[in-house]
Every structure is written in C-alpha cells, then in structure tokens.
Amino acid sequence: MTGEPAALPLLQMALRVEQDIFVIRQRGREVAAVVGLEHQDQVRIATALSEVARDLLRTAGGADVSFHVDAGADGRFHLRADLAPVSPLPDDRYQPQSGAVSRLVDTLSVSTVEGVTVVRMSRRVPANAPMPTPERFAEFRTELGRTAPSSALDELTVQNGQLISALDEVRSQRDELAVLNEELAETNRGVLALYNQLTEELEETNRGVVALYAELDEKSAQLRAASESKSRFLANVSHELRAPVTAIIGLGRLLTDSASDPLTDEQGRQVDLIRSSAADLLNLVNELLDLAKAESGRIEPDVTEVDLRPLFGQLRGTLRALATRPEVELVVEELTGPALLRTDEVLLGQVLRNLLHNGLKFTERGEVRLRASQHGDRWQFEVSDTGPGIAPELHDRIFEEFYQIPGATRVGGTGLGLPYARRLVTLLGGSLELTSAAGEGSTFTVSLPTGGA
C-alpha cells in the first residue's frame, strides 16, 4: 500500500513510561493536523496511537515512535506511524487489546523492517490536501518543533473535551436516527395502506375476470352445442332428402325413357324441368351433407405421399368439360420436376376442383389458371382468374355458408363451396386465403404443409 518510506521521519519520540502515552497521543494528533487530516481523523489516529502505545508499554516495556508521510499507489499520500518495540514482542506478534483499534486507521499491521519488528499504522490524507514537497516536509518539521509537548493533565483535558464532543455527536445522531425512524414508520404505514388498497382492487378485478371467464366458457359451450345440433340437423335432413330426390330423378328418367309411353312435347319439357330441379336439389343436399360431415369432424383425412403431377393431369381432364366458354382458357400449369407432398389426395382434389370450377363459373373472358410452387416446408396452390373480382369487404362473407354475392346467383351454385373448401384445407393443416379487388380478377391461395397435418 505504501511506497518507500520518506528518508527522514517527521517526528520521533520515545515511549518508556506511562506519561509518554499522553505525549504520543497529543503529538500524534498534532502531526495529523499538520499533514492535513480532518478533525475526526486526527482524533481517530491519536486514539489508535495511545491504545497501541499502552499495549506496547505493557508487553514490550516501551517503543520508539516515528511519524512519516508516504506516497500511496493511488496517488494519494498517507500518514504513517511506526512503533518499534524496545524488546521483542511475545511470539513476535502484536494483537491489539481492543479490536476496535484497527477500525480507527486504514491499516494496522506488524512488519519487520531491516530485522526490527515494527507495529505500523497509517491513515489516508484527504485528496484536497496538497502533496507535500521536500520544502513542505521541512515546514512540517519546523511547525512540529515549535509546539512543545504539554503535560499529561493538559492532554487529559483535551481528551475529555474530545470525549464530550464525541458524546454530543452520538446524542445528536441518536436524535436524528429517532426522527428518521419515525419518518420511516410513517412511510411504512402509507405503503402498507396503499398495498392493502391495491390488493383489494386486484382481488376485486380478479373476481370480475373469473366471472367473465365463467360466462365466456358457458357461452362457448352453448355455441358449441348449437353448432353441433346445426350440423346434426343438416346431416339428418340432407340424408333423409337424398333418397326421395334421387327417386324423383330416376322417375323422371323413366318417364322420358324411349321404352315408356311417349309424352307430349309439353309433358316432356315439364319432366325435363322436374329432372333438372331435382338434380340441383340433389347437388345442394350432397354439398350440405359434405359440409355437415366436415363440421362435425367426421371426415378423417387419409394422408399419403401424393404426386401432384397425376393429380393435376386429372384436374385438367375433368375440368376441360366445364370450360365451355371459348373466351375463357383453363390453364393447369405443368409441374417441373418431382412434386410430392403428404396430404389427402381426394380432399385436395375436391378443394382445387371447387376453386377452378368457381373461376370458370364467374369468368367471362380471359383465363383461369392453377399454379403450384413449393416454399420451404409448404406447398402453395394458386387458383387465379380474370373474372369480376371480389370487393375486399366481401372477402370474409363469401366463406360464410349460403352467402353468394348479389348478382352471382344467375350462374347457379349453393354458396356452400367455399366454406366447405376452407373446412377441408383446415383439416389438412393448411389455409385458404383470397386476394382480389372488384374488377381485377381473384386469386385463391391454398397453402399446405409438405409433411402433412
């Protein structure tokens, strides 16, 4: 900690008799004052000196005391007092009588300097005290030389004074502490009240949230029950309707069969009308049944490794028959390279067929195109057309059951195709989205995970 001890000590003294303790104490305080230690520190180092001096007088019969100023590694300087015992210390060790002594100074240690054991203590001088120059050292020495040591009685009086002021300080600190304690208790009471209030509010809010959740649970259970009974109703009704409608179609076919009795032209027209209305009805019933099945979770996807190329070939073939308008071209883009994904081939085929069919139904000129591409771990299927397009505010509505954009009904349909397609895509672990604006054609995008749902 300390640098090389300055060659010449600031002051040297001998400790031989009881009275020397007082002198060492007094001179120690004076040296501390001269080098710039603050009042409190002067008293601290003087007290430490007198304690150590008393110990050494008792255990070693006295000591030679010297004061020095050292430059510290931290750039600050330190007042150092060395007490060299006149006879060896027991076991060459020094243990202060009072443990508090070491707290009065920055360092208190026993060192051996050139074979001589020395009890050494030091205290750091405040940063604002000027670093002493050789001239300043000389001044220190003269200053100390001027003040003659006073009597033990004088030192005792000074010591008493210091004790009284230390007691005063302790008392005022105790009073301050009492005031602080009172303030702290007050603050604590405030914090506790606030905490209680907050806890109450929180509990109140919690009760509200719990009640809200209970209500929500109840509502969603009711909704689930309603949706289940709707699906059940749809499934039952459509199932029950299928047989009579099929019968009507069969009977119509029988009536117009060449083997049956000939009908008049008017009768023939009416039977055709009955047959086509029954076919529409059967279509609706079938779509209702499909949707009810998908909604009730009764469709279990049969996931296998699907090669898209044959599937696309099939779509090209079956839908060509529906592309009756010469102004509309159906393009199912060729897939370059292997195109494999794990999904249910039949359900995917149904979805794409439905979207392409819609494109062909609503597009009057231009083209309807199916394009597939792989992006990371997903396959994307885009069905785009150059048809009338769909205004953004209707993008959600067309996925609702039975919704048809006003004016679109003339091309036929039930309004069940898109909700069914979206159900199926969800079942396959994917999504069905629409990008379109009125007058700009539509693009329906199906995105599916390559590895299956």
The reply on whether position 359 binds ligand ADP by CB under 6 A is yes
Which region, judged by CB under 6 A, interacts with ligand ADP, from 201-209, 256-264, 340-348, 413-421? Answer: 413-421
Residues 6+ positions from 62 with CB-CB distance below 8 Å: 14, 15, 16, 17, 20, 56, 85, 86
The residue range among 2-10, 13-21, 188-196, 410-418 that interacts with ligand ADP, by the rule CB under 6 A, is 410-418
Contact (CB, 8 A) for 48 and 104: yes
Min. distance of Cβ 231 from ligand ADP in angstroms? 17
13-19: long-range contacts (C-beta < 8 A, 24 or more apart)? 13/64, 13/65, 13/66, 14/62, 14/63, 14/64, 14/65, 15/53, 15/56, 15/57, 15/62, 15/63, 15/64, 15/65, 15/83, 16/57, 16/61, 16/62, 16/86, 17/57, 17/62, 18/57, 19/152
* Number of alpha helices (DSSP H) and beta strands (DSSP E) in the chain: 9, 12
Q: List the one residue from 48, 104, 245, 418 that touches ligand ADP (CB under 6 A).
A: 418
Instruction: Work out whether 294 is an interface residue with ligand ADP (CB under 6 A).
Output: no
Is residue 386 close enough to count as binding ligand ADP by CB under 6 A? no
Count, residues near ligand ADP per rule CB under 6 A: 19
Is residue 387 close enough to count as binding ligand ADP by CB under 6 A?
A: yes
Q: Which of 390, 432, 446, 448 binds ligand ADP (CB under 6 A)?
A: 390
Closest CA to 347 of 397, 300, 405: 300
Question: Between residues 82 and 385, which has the closer beta carbon with respect to ligand ADP?
Answer: 385
- Determine, following the binding rule CB under 6 A, whether residue 155 of this chain makes contact with ligand ADP: no
Instruction: Give the other-Cβ count within 10 Å of 169's Cβ.
Output: 11
Q: How far is the CB of 255 from ligand ADP (least distance, A)?
A: 29
What φ, ψ does residue 63 adopt, rounded to 5°? Answer: -160, 165
Three-state DSSP state, 319: helix
| 442 is a site residue for ligand ADP (CB under 6 A) | yes
Residue 384 touching ligand ADP (CB under 6 A): no
Among 388, 428, 430, 446, which residue sits at the site for ligand ADP (rule: CB under 6 A)?
Answer: 388
Neighbours of 1 (CB within 10 A): 13
Residue 441 phi, psi (nearest 5): 75, 175
CB 31 within 8 A of CB 10: yes
Q: Which of 385, 386, 446, 448 binds ligand ADP (CB under 6 A)?
A: 385
414 binds ligand ADP (CB under 6 A): yes
For residues 304 and 413, the answer to whether their CB atoms sit within 8 Å is no
Q: Which stretch binds ligand ADP (CB under 6 A): 13-21, 246-254, 316-324, 404-412?
A: 404-412
Does residue 50 touch ligand ADP according to CB under 6 A? no
Looking at residues 115 to 144 of the shown chain, list those that interact with ligand ADP (rule: CB under 6 A). Answer: none
Binds ligand ADP (CB under 6 A): choice among 22, 67, 77, 362? 362
Q: Does 408 bind ligand ADP (CB under 6 A)?
A: yes
Judge contact between 108 and 116, C-beta under 8 A: no
Residue nearest to ligand ADP (CB): 413
What does the block give as tokens for 236?
């039952």
End-to-end CA distance of the chain: 73
Residue from 288, 398, 425, 446 in contact with ligand ADP (CB under 6 A): 398
Interaction site with ligand ADP (CB under 6 A) = 358-359, 362, 385, 387-388, 390, 398, 403-405, 408, 413-418, 442
